[in-house]
Structures are given as structure tokens and as C-alpha cells.
Structure 1
Amino acid sequence: MEEFLEYLERKFPYPNIREPQKKMMLKIYKSILENRNLIVEAPTGVGKTLAYLIPSLYFAEKGKRVLILTETIDQQKRIYEELNRLDHKLKVSYLMGINNYVCKSLNKKANRVYCKYNIRCKFRPNKKPVCYCGLNKIRVGNLYYCPFCACEYKKCKLESLLADVVVMNNSIFFYSKEECEEFREFDIIIVDEAHKLEDSIRRALSVEVNPDILIDRLKVMAIYYAPKVLKKRMDLENVFSILENYLKDVDIDEYRRSLLYDGFELNSCYRLDKAILSSILNAYHKILKIKKEILKFEENEEIKENLNFDLDFRDVCLVELNFISKTKYSELYLNEFFENISNMKVRDDYVLYRANNSLIYEPIFVNKYLKFLYGNATVIHCSATIGNLKLHALKTGLENCDFLKLKSPFPKDRRKIIGLKDGANMKYEIKDREKANKILVKLLEAIDGNTLILFKSFEDLDNFYKYLKNEINNLNIKNKKIHVYERGLSGEEAKKLKERFEKEGGILLATGRFSEGVDIPGKALIAVIIDSLPFPVPTPLLKKEREQLMKKYGSWETFILTSFDRMAKTLIQMIGRLIRTENDYGVVVIQDKRFSDWVGKEMKKRGYLEDYELMNLEESLNYIPRFLSKFR
């Protein structure tokens, strides 16, 4: 222990170590030393990144191999930069998902399926020690790569084989565990943002098939390969009717069989354009049949029978590979479809269902997959928001596990969480939207400052937005700017929205999804209003999960393990948007009446939430201005 404390004093880059931060470091050190798994909840401000990096480096310098997993690329970059700031001589590797790299062969975004099939790619590491550019390559195992010419993704993967510390995404490790551990297994696995781990692995294991996407791809391919005389008449609406007429006297099956595949070039003893277009038209008719069969299933109901489709798409998959190699496109929709739908088998541990026009195939539990990923390593889970630590351990397959729940280092008297005793009823079946809208407007007047209002759904957000636009000129508030998080905004667009709100202030309307990871410090945000508790919609996955758990637990405990747990963790994330630095202050108001009736009490009992206060609306309208005025 003394040696580690000396190492900590020497390595820590700031003048002072916070007490919760030091406690976390010592607990991680002890867990690794005793080979015991650990779950840590460290609220914003503790400094958890340094708290797990320094013990990790200490053991890495003693020969242990360390893997650091996280969910987002931004967090990966922060971890990697923090590692580089700390003085060490270790080999550190940074690996992102393949879509974040540029494929040198395509000269555009890389694609997993294309990379899998393009085995003759000259940028791929191989067994030749000299590169085509004339330079000697670097050897990793029995493969060589050129540091200048090699595919960046493959190069990073090879470097991760030899690294002492590897930083990567949860799902990337899921796909590349065996390769990453080819020469040397990981001794320590640190999972940052661990509250996202279960959903991250579930997404990696899940499959979605949408026939409409495939049909759109076939349309684009048909136009690309059509002779000029057809191309002049074609658009996305009439593609297949023109193809039908063009190929009406053709033996389509014979033309399909004539397609030969050689690398990424298609050759045919018949006219190549007719062979390719025959393949595309045949695939279109097959996909229409598959879509018709999919639409026979009841939406959002579990499918309990194995699918029986005609899946002979080999010819059109070859055409698509050729198409990708010659165009600006990178996604291999048809190849991925063929690969995915072939694996959709009815199983006890998976659920299959229809959502709109898509088939969804999801695992119910992921703990057994996570146990495989952990191997024999000591596993440390860290997050600002975990909630019930024992439940998290159960769902993420952590055994032989210790727990550490740290308190926020920020002063408690600078934040107040209020649950309205007379808030609106926001149950899914019986929702009092009109009352909720009136309450939200009154709260905005009481706050009279930069406020984030979080809704469960876009429907609720849109309803309130229309109401607010009619009332905004009558409101007694200084800043009447309204910022709205809209459906379909990309991550970059959401970031710009947040920055605009920080700069201009006013009112920001968003859903719970937007709130995760949003950091708006200082006076840019002094209040968060939670319109409705984010209980999940009962999807087939949730129903199947409950069905499985009911065999072991009662109905109430099953509800707590599923819907309640998901809601509670999301709610804590929403609350956590407010206090991001030591100087922040503000109020959180939960207007959904269910919180004051029973949810708040249950969350406190089960360790999700420590403190809150119940008030009626009139009390809160008097209290909020007085509370905020103390810090303004």
C-alpha cells in the first residue's frame, strides 16, 4: 500500500486529491490486488477518470494488461488524452469502430462487410515483409503492416494486440475479443459509463431487417447499371416497371446463373448489363414477398415461429459488392440482410418481433455474454449513475463483487429536488396533458432563468411547445427564447443546439434521450423540470424479460427489476444535468404526480436517490424564487 501511495503522489497531475477520489483509487487498488470485481458509483465532480487511470497504470507498469471500455467516442478521446498526459512508458492503443475510419480501398467510410469480403485489398496487413511502396513493414505475430500505407483500422487492431493499455468501445471489444487477446489476455478491465454497458452489448447482439431499405438500394443499383437508353427514362418511382418491360422476354434465372464473380469484377458469357439487371429484378420480387410475409405478423408482438423465406440472394450480393467498389456508397445493405436474417431463429434467450416494417431480433439478457468477455480479468465498473448496485451486478454478469457508492463532493445546499404533490397524472394510459402544460408554464415564471424541460416523448414535447408558443408573450420572464430538440437530430446537431442554448439562454425543450451526457455548467442552466417519469413502453423485449423473471421472482419484484430500474436510472441521468461544477446551483422539479405518490419513496428505499422534498404547486412557486435568489 505504501508503494502505491507514493506512486499516487508522484503521478497525480494536480495539487490536491479530493477525498472521494482517493477513496476510489484505494478501493480499486485493493480490488485488483485481491482479484475481486468492483462496482463504483462516483457522481460528477469526484474525478473518476483519474481515479481509475492511476491504479491501472500502476499495475500495467508491473506487467498487468489493462483494457478500458467506454460507450462514446468523446469519452474514449478524453481517456486517451488523459493517459497521454500522465508520465509513463507503456504502449497505449486506441481503437474505434470500423465506421469511424476511412477505407483506403473505397476512399470513403469503412464498412465491416466490405472489409470482410475484400480479401485482396492491398492495404490489408499480410505475410509479405516489404510493402508495395518499397518500405519494410512492421511485424505483429505472423502479419506485417506498413505504418504509412496500411488500413488505419487494421493497423490499430494490430497495435492493440501488443499494447499494455487499450482504450476501446464496448461493442468493438465484443466483436474483436479473440483478436485483441491473441497474444496476451487482459488482466484488468475497466468499464467507464458502466450504466450503458447492458444496452451497448444488447445492441451489438441485436439484428434489424428492413425490406424498404433493401428496395431503395436495389433502385439505386438498377439506375447505376442500366444502359443509357433506360437510364434517361428512369427515376426512383418507375425503376422496376421499366425493368419489367426491358426484361420481359429474358430468362431471368438463366441470366442470374451466368454471373461469375472474380474479386470485385463481374464477368458474364451473356450481356453483363442484362445479367446484373435480371439479378436486381429477381431480388426485388423476393424482397417484396418477404415484406408481405413480415407484415402478416402482429406489430410489437413476439414471433414464436421460425421464419421461412427464400434467401437465395448470392447473385445480387455479388452485384452489390461490385457496386460498392465503384461508387461513393459504403453500406452493404443486401449482404448484411442476407447475413442477419439467416440467423433469426426462435430461441428462449432471444425475442423476435415486428416493429413497423422491420423485423427486430434482440437478446433478453446479456450477462452470460459479458461473463465471456470478462474472461479471467478483474473487472471494475464505474459510472456517475448506476442506481441499484446489486441489480447492476446481476444484469451485467459480475460475480465475486464489491461495491463502492461515493457521495457528490459538491455542496448539497446548492441544489433542491422537488416533487409536486399535486402534479399532473402522467400515466401512459391516463395522461393529463392540459394540466401538465399549465404547471410547466407557472414553474417557468417562478424560475425566470435558463431552464431545461425534459419530456418522455416527442408527442408530449410537441404538445407543450404549441401551448408555450401561444403563452410565451404573456409570461413574466426575462428571456423568452425557445430552443427545441427535434426528432432525427444527429449527435453533431444536438451538440450545436446545446451550445446555442448555453450562449443565448432561455428555455430548452428536449426528451430524456437528449439529456444523457449533456453538460451545461454554471448559470447557463439553473433549473431542470421533468415533465413525466420515463417508464419504458412495454416492448416485446420487456415483456419477455418479465416473463423469464416471473419464474424466479414475484410480479412486484419483477416490475422493479425491469421497468422501474430502467426508469430510475434514466431519471437520475435527467437530474444529473443540473450540477456539473462546484459553483453550480439550481432546482429540479418533478411534476409527474407518481413521483410524490410512491416512486420517490421507492427510489430512496432502493438506493437510487438520497434526498428530495415534496411540495404542492403553490408552495414550490413561492419557494423556488427565494432559493434561487440566494445564489444569483
Structure 2
Amino acid sequence: MSDTISISVRTLVEHVFRSGSIDSRFRSPSTMLDGTRIHQMIQKTYGESDQKEVYLRTEVKAGELSFTIDGRCDGLLFRDEEVIIDEIKSFSHASEQIQQEGYPVHWAQAKLYALMYARDNDLQKITVQLTYVHVDTLEKIFFKERYNITELEVFLENVMEDYSPYANLLSSHRKKRNASCKELTFPFETYREGQRKLAGVIYKSIFDKKNLFAKAPTGIGKTISTLFPSVKAIGEGHLDKVFYLTAKTITRTAAEDAFKKMRSCGLCLSTVTITAKDKVCFKEETNCQKDYCEFANGYYDRINDAILDILSNETSMNREVIEIYAKKHTVCPFEFSIDLAYAVDSIICDYNYVFDPRVSLKRLLEEQKKSTALLVDEAHNLVDRGREMFSSSLNKDVFLQLKKEFKGVNKSLFDAASKLNAWFLSLKKENPDKQEFTLEHLDGELIDSLVQFVEISEQALPIEASPTLLEEYFIVNNFLKIKEFLDEHYVIYVEKVKNDLIVKLFCMDPSKLLHQMGKGYRSKIFFSATLSPINFYQDLLGGQKDDYALSIPSPFSSDQVDVYIHPLSTRFRDREQTKESIAAGIQSLIKKRPGNYFIFFPSYQYLLAVYEQFKQQDEVTKTIIQAAGMTETEREAFLDAFKPNQTETLLGFAVLGGIFSEGVDLIGDRLNGVVVIGVGLPQLCFERNLIKDHFNQQNKNGYDYAYVYPGMNKVLQAGGRLIRSEEDHGTIVLIDDRFLQRRYQQLLPPEWQRFTVGSL
């Protein structure tokens, strides 16, 4: 790797000069749009000979490292004999709050541009101007300073002196990292069957700059099979950064363990795990205000030292490690992990940090994306998560609540909330007999009222301490943002829930936006044990025609599992009549084959009905039930009950598609069997029917897309809990007559195809 480091002016000065506190009491998300508008407005006032958005670049040596620093200055003005670098900044607070001479970080940015231009044009003196413009009043404040080139050269030396410890640390680490990645051998004695092929195709996909959709069966060792070739690609210079994206805590732990295993074999590579803000916050209430939280107060004054400290001493920055250093340096652990994400080699985090337009890591530059791979674990989950990320809704009730809250307190807010509440009421009156209905387009009056609500809220929020207003402000902003995505992949629908009315922008097909949000990355690897049928997932995850696809057969023998299909109806209308037979079937199973079993149900209500029936017939067998909203401690206790070498039978009643049907490893005889009740179809509902109709119109099988494929995915995930190694043996019982229909049977894995029909 070259010792020349490329860095933008903005990144450099923000690292050296950032200071102050985190304060999310109120921060307008329209700031960037305001900034663009203000820049364009000022640039239109420039003279004919003036220039805007001028690209500048310079090189500098600091110790053993060479730097290429570049960026675009807002304006280059020519006034008589004077050359002026103009740096434009927008602001929304009171003008008295601007420091007497402007902000140091802004001066630093402008001075570096001035030095670059002066160097290129042999100028001995140059003028720097800061132009501050208020976003609402358009009030302008100017600061001007004239510098000679020697002053600017000394300034750059001082900036580089402050930045060098961080740069030296990263440069030294990357040399060790690249050498260790190159030398690393596969961290196990042998590859499992299919594992070498998966790893090889992943490396080729990264090398060829292609995306890959891989169906990799349970037990193959997917985590190490995806991370190892990615690490090797770093060693060969094809990658600089890897994201391991997953929806579940347990799979994040698997990724951390895989890196730990590779480190024990000599790998030197830094990783950070991003944990959700609410989970990692040190305070009782997640309230990022400097006067409430000492970890937010002065965060930017201390963060550089915290980053240097942790990077100098740690390579695995999981939640526990981040918390230790966050307490040591008194910095917010969540923001600390986000800042570390830009410095480390691999990030383990939720899908939303890449795909969700509201929370993605936006500081990852396009140039960095070109050397970054995305490893999307349990990729089947991204379909519904994508729908969720790209949809948005508004509730009438909240505007009624705000109307009451600000009556006689703030007339502008009262009027804005009243107007929106009235719009919902008129919609309700126009459709008196409909519980759910679609709208062809969004009413212009609604949009105007929402924009007005946002503008009034922005003025009120710095003064009004209203959690409801703050929350609704962000909800409305998100709604307006999602509105911009509306196209043939969306439907606008209205739903009545008791006295409330909900308007939803529903993304039926997330493929286009998932593709858009993943654009620019060198390679995206979508993998799962249940990425089946693979063309369905390619279609909905934004796959392209030239993407690679791979399906690895199971490494396990069909002799390891006995599969039974018990053809009872579990359809909603038949559940009351068949619950006694299901309970009797479970009793018969454990009598003939005692052991530890998971019993999976399509709904919690159905689970309770069968459970009560079972307990009436069998008061002796030990049972545990998945409860709603279980804490991590309760989940662990549930799984810990499945002990090896148990002498008595244990039945764990759980929900299909829930926390125990994915990512759970109960090796050996901790689990002896799995019973799956029903084909897992999502409940018939208005939203799912909209999805069905949408894909029918595209000449695809809408019922399969909306119901069958998502349902059977849950069945396969649940059954996949059983055989986790070459030594495992067990029983799978599928209870539903539809498992004998071709539509469902062809979705069963090959090792389940040798089944016996009938109860045990």
C-alpha cells in the first residue's frame, strides 16, 4: 500500500477542529437542502470573471507520510488586484450566536483552499472570506482576512501535526492488516462440504466487482465462508472495508466470533459492532442533550482522544469494549461507534446503516464505496425490512393531540395541527363505510399542510419542550421524504383503526430502492440458508441480470433426519376442530421419541390454544412458552433450558418467524426434533393482498410472492434449527395437509423430500 494518503479538506479540518456537544434536542433535517439553496443564491451574485465550485488540490509531507488534500471551494472572486476565496455557510439560529470572528473549522477550510490556490498561482498574498447566510431571513454576515503564503504554510503544518498521530496509526495498522490478510490461511483444519466452493465464488464476485445471491444451507458455516474470502480480498488490494449486515443480535455475535477465530490465526484487522442507541445508552432516558447527558456534553472535544486510544489498543470493538472506552473518555457510546465505523476495516451492524435513507452512514464517500463489500446475512429478511424502511404513515390522532396541546399556547401550531386533523376528518366523511381503501394520489392540500406544519414546527421546537411535537415533526419529515419515492412500486392506502385514521405510503416492491441505496459498492453478497426460490429474492432485493447466483447443496445426509407430514388442516377456520388432534399428535411423538423439541406455530393465539389443549391431556411433560416482548436475559434462559443429555422431555412452544426460529444453534442432543404447524402463510390482510395484486399485474404469481414464499421461508428457517452438524440426528414433523401439495412440496429442501405421511 502506498504511503500517500488522500483526504478531503473538509474531512481533515473537521477531524482537527471539531468541538462542542451532541445536542439532538432539535436539528432540522432540511439543513442540507437549505445549505444548497443558500450556496446557489450567493453564487448567482458572483461577477462574470468569478468562479464557483473550483476544484483545488495540493500535496504535503508530514513525517513519513505524504498526503494529497483536495476539495472544492465555494467561490473564487477577483476584485482589482485582490483574489478572494469565498466559503459560504448557512445558519438557522440567532445571528448573535455566530462567534465574533466566525467558526474555526470554517476558517480552516477556507484557509486551506486559499493556500492551494496561492501555491498553484505563485501568489504571495490572498484574501479569505466567510459568508454566513440565515436560512429564513437571508441576513448576511461577512468576515474577511488577508493572509500571506508563509502564514498559510505554517497553518497547514500545524493542522498536519494535529492530524498526523491519527494518520500514522491508520497507516501503520493498514500495513500490518494487509500483510496479515495475505498470509492468513483458512482458520479450520478442513473445509466443510460446499464451504470451499462458497468461499471461492464470494472471492470471485468481489474480484469481478459483481453481486452474488447465494443459497447456502444451514450448518455449512456461512459466516466464516463469507468473511474469510472478504479478508483475503483486502490482502490482495481489492477491498479496504467490509460491512457485515444482519438483522439479529445472535448473527452479529457469530460474525464477532469468526473474526476472533481469524485473529487467533494471525489476522490483524479492526472491527466495530454498532449497537442500537437505545440499547447502548448509559442514561435512564435516551435524551441527547448536553444539559442532561455528560456523555453528550463536550463530546466533540474528547472524541479524537477516545478514537486514538481505542484504535491503539483494540482490534475487536464490540459493545462491551466500546462501553469501557466510552466511560473512560466520557463520550456517547453510540456516536463513538458511528465515528469508529469510518476508521475501522469491518463494520458489523443492522441493515439500516446501509439501506435506510434516514439513518445510513452518509459520510462514506463514493470513492470509499468502490473498495467496500456488503455481506448481507439472512438476506431473506431484507425484503420485508426494505418495505418497512421505504414506507411511511401518518395518524390523525396525533394531530388531534397536538391541536389540544397547543390550544391557547401557540396559535400557529394549533392552526397547523387543526388543519391536518380537519383534512383527515373530511377523508373519513367521504368514505364512511370503508375500513380500508386506496388513494390514486396524495392530495395537494395535504402536502401543503404538511410542509406548513414542518416550517412552523422548526420555528417552535427550539422553544417548545414537547416530545409529541418533536416526534411528529420527524414523522412528517420522513413522510415527505418517502413521498418523493412514489412510483409504480408504491400504493397509497387509508386504514381506519377504531377512531383513528392512518394514511400510509406503502412500498410493495423494495427492489428499486434497495438497488439504489446499495449503488457504488464494489460487491454485494446476499446469502441465506433459505434464499429460495432464488429468482424471487433476486427480483425483490434489487438484483440485476448480470449478478451471480449460487445454490450449495446441504452437507448433511437425508439419513440424519426423519421427516413426517401429518396432513391435518391448520387453516384458520379449522383450528378449533383440529387442535385436539394436534395436541394428541405431539403426545404420540414424544412418547415414541422422547427428547427436546421446538413446536412452532403461525400465531401466538394459535400457540396458546394448542398449548392449553396439550396441558389438559398431559400435565407431566415439561413445557416452556415464548412470551411476547422477551428481554435478552429471558431469551437466553429459554434456550438454556434445552440442555444436553436430558432424561426428561422438554417442549418449547414458539412462534414461526419469531426470535427462536432463526439463528438459534442447539448443537447435538440439546434439540432432538422440530414440529412445524402450518405452512407459515402471513395472515390474510389488506396490505398482503395489495402486494399480491401488484405482482399479478406484472404477470408474476402474486399469491406466491405475497404469501407462499414468505410463509415457507419461515417453515424452512424453523426446521433448520435441527441439524447443525454432521453428528446431529433428529425428527421434523410438518403438520398441514398443504405440505402434500406440489406448490409447497417443491419448496422443501432435498433432504426433507424422503418423508413419511401420517402421524407418528
| Range with greater deviation from structure 2 (449-458 or 499-508) | 499-508
For the residues of structure 1 that align with 2:215 and 2:303, how far apart are their CA atoms?
Answer: 51
CA distance in 2, matches of 1:585, 1:135: 53
Q: Indicate if the aligned counterparts of 1:365 and 1:395 stay in contact, CA closer than 8 A.
A: yes
Deviation at 1:297, TM superposition (A): 7.9
1:127-146, aligned counterparts within 5 Å? Answer: 131=301
Does the residue aligned with 2:369 lie in a helix, a strand or coil? coil
Work out the CA distance in 2 between the residues paired with 1:595 and 1:510.
20
Counterparts of 1:458 and 1:136 in 2: how far apart (Å)? 46
The structure in which a higher percent of residues are strand is 2
What SS does structure 1 have at the residue aligned with 2:654? Answer: strand
CA-CA distance at 1:173 after TM superposition = 1.3
Mapping of 1:203-282 within 5 angstroms? 203-210=388-395, 255-257=409-411
* Pair 1:60 & 2:234 matched: yes
Q: What displacement does 1:210 show?
A: 4.9
Give yes or no for contact 2:210–2:547 (8 Å, CA) kept in 1.
yes
Gaps of 5+ in 1: 126-130, 140-145, 220-239, 244-251, 259-278, 474-478, 622-632
Verify the 8 A CA contact 2:181 2:268 in the aligned structure 1: no
> Judging changes above 3 Å, is the alpha-carbon distance between structure 1 residues 486 and 317 closer, same or farther for their aligned structure 2 residues?
farther
What CA distance in whole angstroms lies between the structure 1 residues aligned with 2:460 and 2:280?
Answer: 24
Tell me the distance in 1 between the aligned counterparts of 2:398 and 2:641: 34
Q: 1:448 to 1:562 in 2, by over 3 A?
A: same
CA distance in 2, matches of 1:424, 1:178: 51
- The answer to whether 1:333 aligns with 2:467 is no
Match of 1:102 among 281, 288, 295: 281
1:484 equivalent to 2:625? Answer yes
Show the counterpart of 1:574.
Answer: 718
Distance in 2 of aligned mates of 1:18 and 1:8: 22
- 1:362 and 1:380 map into 2 onto residues whose CA distance is 27
Partners of 1:136 and 1:378 lie apart in 2 by: 32
Q: CA deviation at 1:67?
A: 2.5
Aligned length: 532
Pick from 341, 346, 363 the counterpart of residue 179 of structure 1.
363
Give the aligned partner of residue 82 of structure 1.
258
What's the CA shift string for 1:30-59, capped at 9, x where partnerless?
A: 222222322222222211211111211122
Amino acid of the structure 2 residue aligned with 1:391 = F
* Match in the other structure for 1:46: 220
Q: Which residue of the partner structure matches residue 383 of structure 2?
A: 198
Question: Is the alpha carbon distance of 1:89 and 1:448 closer, same or farther for their aligned partners in structure 2, counting shifts above 3 Å?
Answer: closer
- The answer on whether the counterparts of 1:417 and 1:611 sit within 8 Å (CA) in structure 2 is yes
Distance 1:283 1:410, change over 3 A: same
Sort the Cα spacing of 1:317 and 1:538 in 2 relative to 1 into closer, same or farther, 3 A.
farther
The CA deviation at 1:472 is 0.8
Report the 3-state secondary structure (helix = DSSP H, G, I; strand = E; otherwise coil) of the residue aligned with 2:712: helix
TM-score (norm 2): 0.61
* Match in the other structure for 1:414: 560
Residues 493 and 205 from structure 1, CA distance in 2 versus in 1: closer, same or farther, beyond 3 angstroms?
farther
- Distance in 1 of aligned mates of 2:703 and 2:583: 29
Deviation at 1:480, TM superposition (A): 0.8
User: Displacement of 1:396 after TM fit?
Assistant: 0.8
Q: What secondary structure does 1:109 align onto?
A: coil
Rg: which structure is higher?
A: 2
Aligned equivalent of 1:349 = 489
Range with bigger deviation, 198-207 or 426-435: 426-435
| More off after superposition, 26-35 vs 342-351 | 342-351
Match for 1:179: what amino acid?
A: R
1:602 to 741, 746, 754: 746
CA distance in 2, matches of 1:34, 1:285: 55
Cα–Cα, structure 1 residues 132 and 82, in superposed 2: closer, same or farther, change >3 Å?
closer
Structure-2 change in CA distance of 1:370 and 1:593 (3 Å): same
Bigger CA drift: 183-192 or 342-351? 342-351
2:191 is aligned with 1:17: yes
Q: How far is the alpha carbon of 1:95 from its aligned partner?
A: 3.0
Equivalents in 2 of 1:14, 1:324: separation in Å? Answer: 57
Q: Is the counterpart of residue 615 in structure 1 residue 756 in structure 2?
A: yes
C-alpha distance in 2, partners of 1:524/1:134?
47
**1:384 maps onto 2:529 in alignment:** yes
Query: Is the partner of 2:349 in helix, strand or coil?
Result: strand
For the residue of structure 2 that corresponds to 1:530, the secondary structure is: strand
Name the counterpart of 2:687.
541
TM-score of the pair, normalised by structure 1? 0.72
CA distance in structure 2 between the partners assigned to 1:204 and 1:17 by the alignment: 37
Please give the alpha-carbon distance, in whole angstroms, between the structure 1 residues aligned to 2:528 and 2:250.
Answer: 15
1:366 paired to 2:540? no
> CA separation in 2, counterparts of 1:496 and 1:214?
42
Task: Give the structure 2 partner of residue 161 of structure 1.
Answer: 342
In the alignment, what sits opposite 1:592? Answer: 736
Q: Give how far 1:550 is off.
A: 1.9
Matched residues in 2 for 1:254 and 1:102: separation? 36
User: CA separation of 1:201/1:355 partners in 2, compared to 1, >3 Å: closer, same or farther?
Assistant: farther
- Structure 2 distance, partners of 1:150, 1:136, is 8
Which amino acid letter does the alignment assign opposite residue 233 of structure 2?
Answer: F
Structure 2 residue runs of 5 or longer lacking an equivalent are 1-177, 310-325
CA distance in 2, matches of 1:24, 1:254: 66
In 2, Cα distance between equivalents of 1:385 and 1:136: 41
- Residues in 2 aligned to 1:491 and 1:358: alpha-carbon distance in whole angstroms: 35
Of 706, 731, 737, the residue aligned with 1:562 is 706
SS at match of 1:398: coil
In structure 2, the residue matched to 1:457 is: 603
Amino acid at match of 1:59: A
Supply the distance in 1 between the matched residues of 2:649 and 2:606 (Cα, whole angstroms): 22
State how far apart, in whole Å, the 1-side matches of 2:722 and 2:219 are: 12
**Partner of 1:180: helix, strand, or coil?**
coil
Distance 1:89 1:615 in 2: 51
Counterpart residue number, 1:583? 727
